[in-house]
Amino acid sequence: MPHHTAYIRNGKIHSDTPRAQYLAEVLAQIPDGPILITTEPLPRKRSGPFNRYYHGTVLSHLLHALNDAGNDVAVSDHNRKIVHEELRDGPLYPDPVAGKKNSTARLTDQQFQRFVRDVVSVTDYCLGYAIPAPPVYWETVDD
């Protein structure tokens, strides 16, 4: 796992990386006294095929389903983004964290898969519109 080396001198962090400068700005805002700093590795980015199925297939078909239900909604990148934000901030989002904005990027593959399956199920149940099944690679991710 890559790591960055920095030095603390006179209460300031020094390093060649831009992240250290950001961290120094954040630390400067913390009042004097004891603090706890926790670090953890960043989660692995979700694969392109997972995102392509959700953003390409699921959201596009959901917009078609909304049109079939009598709404005048164009299938466009702008509307896909709006629908994604509504879903992300809605009740289907797993395990929201108080005080943090929901983000599908923070979901594990399993959580993201469950989220997408819930969106597909709700679309079928509420709008009577069957979104095409996910590609075979979805079967490799366990619930």
pLDDT for res 1:
32
How far apart CA 31 and CA 24 sit, in angstroms, is: 13
For residue 63, the model assigns a pLDDT of 92
Report the Cα–Cα distance between both ends of the chain, in Å, rounded.
Answer: 27
Strands 12-14 and 7-9: antiparallel
Whole-number pLDDT of residue 2: 40
Model pLDDT, residue 97: 77
* Portion of the chain with pLDDT greater than 90, in percent: 24
Give the integer Cα–Cα distance in Å for 120 and 59.
Answer: 9
For the segment 20-77, what is each residue's pLDDT rounded down to a tens digit? 676 777 777 778 888 776 655 555 666 778 888 998 899 999 999 998 888 888 888 8
